[in-house]
Structure formats: structure tokens, C-alpha cells
Chains A and B, each alone.
Chain A
Amino acid sequence: MIKNIAFIALLSISSFVFAQNTAMTSAESKAFVTKISSETKEIKTLQSDFIQTKKMDFLDKNIVTQGKMSLKSPNTLSWKYTKPYQYSIIFKENKIFINDQGKKSSVDAKSKTFEKINKLIVGSSNGMMFSDPEFSVVYFKNANSNIAKFTPKSAQLLKYIKQIELQFPKNQSTVSQVNMTEASGDTTNIVFKNTKINAPIPASEFSL
């Protein structure tokens, strides 16, 4: 009997912990999207530090990389890893510039995969993804955040990615966390910190 009570107690605690996310009503999700979209329009620049954590089931430890991102509306993005290695990628004027530990190169952004990566990163960091026709979106909320879960519509894109989850803290119009689940079930988590909106960004940030 005591065992059963303990079990039920444990179950309810765990469901309390895990079942925090509830689905938004359609009115709530509409209001949320309208709010984020209009606030996003006011964002001219965005800067943030990020910590990226890659989890794979067969590894003992997670792989953690860190860096800094800078975004200038509408389409210039710098994504720089600074730890544990130096790697920068800049999306600018339909070109991609890369500095891989001192080795510089550039590519035209015509490649489909690159375009998708570009779109995913830019979209995920400022909420532009809501209007992306390639994804269907469902909305959730909990005590602290609003959550949007994106699922690719096409079988083609599903081969790359199963789901992208964006977390928006309730008092914030930018993303604080991105969780990507791959087709294989592996996950990549990106946490944004020290986010600055509309602070000037020196031009050097967007060149290598």
C-alpha cells in the first residue's frame, strides 16, 4: 500500500514537472503570433551569446560549443563559434563567408542546404519562421514561456529535421532557446544569453 502511494505520489510529481506545457487555444496562439511578428518588425539588430549543446545517445558526454551571434535586419547574419574552436560563418548579400580557424572561404548561397541552414538560423533567432510555408506550427505555454513547435511539411525536409522548438520567455519577443530534433532523434539545444536588441553593431562584425 505504502509502495502504491509512493508510486502515485512520484507519478503525480513527475507529471507535474513534465506536463507543464499546455497547448494554447487558437485565440491565444493568434495573439502570440501577432505580438511576436509586430515586435520582430521593430528589431533592426540583434546580438546574443549562445551555448550550443549536442546530445547523442551513444556518447558519455554532450558536445558543447559557444559563441556569439549578430543579426542585422533583414538578411545579414554573423554566427561565430569562439569555444572550443574558432569558426565564423557570415550570411551577407546572398553570399556565405566562412573563416574556419583562419582558413577563409566564400560560397554563393545558391546551395539548397545552405539556404535552408540560413533560413533556419535567421528564422529561429528572431521568430521569422512563423510565416515559413515549409513548416506547420503548434503552440504551447507554461508558467515562464511561450513555445512554438515547428514540424517540416515536406518529406524532403523531414529527412534533415524532425522538429524545431522555439522558446520565448513571456516578457521577451526574441527566442531564448532553440531545441532541434533530428530525424535520428538526436537533439541540438541552443541557449541564447545577454540578448541586446537594436544596439549598434560595428560593420567589422559582418566581415571576416
Chain B
Amino acid sequence: MRRFLLLSFLCSSVFFLLFSCKSYKLTDAKPLEISKKAAENLYFSSKEDFVYKCQMEVYGNDISGILIIKKISDSTHRVVMTSDFGNKMIDFEISENDFKLNYVLPDLDKKMVINFLKNDFRELLKQKYAVTERFENNEYFIDVSKNGKKTYYLFFDKTTEILKQIVFTQNKREKIDFTYEAKKHTFAETINLQHKDFKINIKLFQITETE
């Protein structure tokens, strides 16, 4: 029995290693000269109120609510999620290096939940990327930004130059896929945040009707 357990553990570890070692690669992309040193994600760069209907799927559990994002200083965003009924679930201020939790619903007050939100939103709100490589395929110009273990692939539509996707990898493995639907550079109508390492998916739809 123990042997069987050990064997199955080994098998699954090997499988896990094989599976997770598959590194992210661009397909059908050819290298280009770097035309500019920095690429930007401008979707949360203005100081307006960004209000989205939010559908979160965390390991089969659905969480619904309203997500509010607002840039409150050059480096910091305030992020608030409320339920559909309006009561606040979480409220924090986040920048590249700082994180301040203003409120969290007692039910959500778990280190794992907060860390996951902190990491995801830090990536979502990252504005500036130093470009280290540039590629193109039929549809997109792809700016690649390498920073230590992290690599970001930013896909810009060739005709509109609108940012359509960011693939975030760590140790070459795909971690999060951000896809955007937008008509202009500074505002995304929908955002889809898909974790590749965990069963977590966040969908955001803009809500324009504010008072």
C-alpha cells in the first residue's frame, strides 16, 4: 500500500513537473528591431472612476460584485470590491512597492486571499514596461519585457495599436493571461484575467451608468 502511494505520488510529481515545465513561447512571430524602449498599459492610467461588474471564479466558486479602481496618485491605485448589494468586501491601496489594506470582510480576511489579490492587481495595474525584445505576427506587434524571473508579452493590434493581451510568465511558465476589449488606449470595456497556474478567472465588464 505504501509502495503504491509512493509510486502514485512519484508519478503525479513527474507528470506535474513535465506539465509545468512547458515554457511559454511565441508562435509564428518574427523578431523586429526595438522601436521604443518602453511600452505602456494605459487602461488605468487616468484619474477617472473605473467601475466594472466583476465575475470571479475561484476553484468552482462564483463570486459576483462590483469592482472600482481609481488612480489616487501617480503611483497608487485604490481598489474596492463590493457585493451587488453594495456592501464592501475589500478595499485596498496598491502601488508597485506598497500595499495598504483599508477594509476586508471578516469572511475574506485570509492571508492567502489577500496575497492573491495583491499580486494579481499589482500585475493588472502595472503601467510601464521596459521593452527588451520586439516581435510581430500577422495580427500583433509584441513587446517583450524581461525583468528578472518575470517576463511580460504585450500584444498590440497592428492597425489600431490598442493593447489586446498581456501574457505574464514567471520562470518562463505562463502565470496569468490578461485579455482586453477596448476601443481606445485608455479604457477597456472588458477585461479577462485568466490564471494559468490556479483555477482562478476574473471577468470584468464596464458599467457606464454612474450618477
Q: Do A and B bind each other?
A: yes
Within 196-211 of B, Cβ neighbours of A (below 8 Å) are at 205, 207-211
B residues near A103, Cβ cutoff 8 Å:
55, 62
Number of A-B contacts (CB under 8 A): 83
A20 on interface, CB distance cutoff 8 Å = no
Could you tell me the distance in whole angstroms from the C-beta of A55 to the nearest C-beta in chain B? 9
B residues near A160, Cβ cutoff 8 Å:
87, 105-106
> What is the chain A residue whose CB lies nearest that of B78?
A58
Give the contacting residue for B84; candidates A65, A180, A184; CB below 8 A: A65
Identify whether the interface residues of B are mostly helix, strand, loop, or mixed.
strand
Could you tell me the distance in whole angstroms from the C-beta of A112 to the nearest C-beta in chain B? 8
User: A90-109, CB under 8 A of B: which get 1 and which 0?
Assistant: 00000000101101010000
Whether B85 lies near A100 (C-beta < 8 A) is no
B residues near A64, Cβ cutoff 8 Å:
209-211
B interface residues, how many (CB within 8 angstroms):
32
B residues near A98, Cβ cutoff 8 Å:
62, 64
Bound complex: CA A54 to CA B70 (Å): 15
A residues near B62, Cβ cutoff 8 Å:
98, 100, 103, 105
B residues near A59, Cβ cutoff 8 Å:
49, 68, 70
A residues near B175, Cβ cutoff 8 Å:
none
Whether A161 lies near B87 (C-beta < 8 A) is yes
Give the contacting residue for B205; candidates A52, A56, A83, A85; CB below 8 A: A85
A residues near B48, Cβ cutoff 8 Å:
60
17 extra interchain contacts, Cβ-Cβ under 8 A, other than A63-B211, A64-B211, A186-B88? Answer: A54-B66, A54-B86, A59-B49, A59-B70, A61-B210, A64-B209, A64-B210, A65-B84, A84-B208, A85-B207, A87-B53, A100-B62, A101-B53, A101-B205, A156-B106, A184-B88, A188-B86
Residues of B within 8 A of A (CB): 48-49, 51, 53, 55, 62, 64, 66, 68, 70, 72, 78, 80, 82-88, 91, 102-103, 105-107, 205, 207-211
Within 29-66 of A, Cβ neighbours of B (below 8 Å) are at 52-54, 56, 58-65
A residues near B80, Cβ cutoff 8 Å:
56
Residues of A within 8 A of B (CB): 52-54, 56, 58-65, 81, 83-85, 87, 89, 98, 100-101, 103, 105, 113, 117, 121, 156, 159-161, 180, 182-184, 186, 188
A residues near B211, Cβ cutoff 8 Å:
53, 61-64
Bound complex: CA A42 to CA B82 (Å): 35
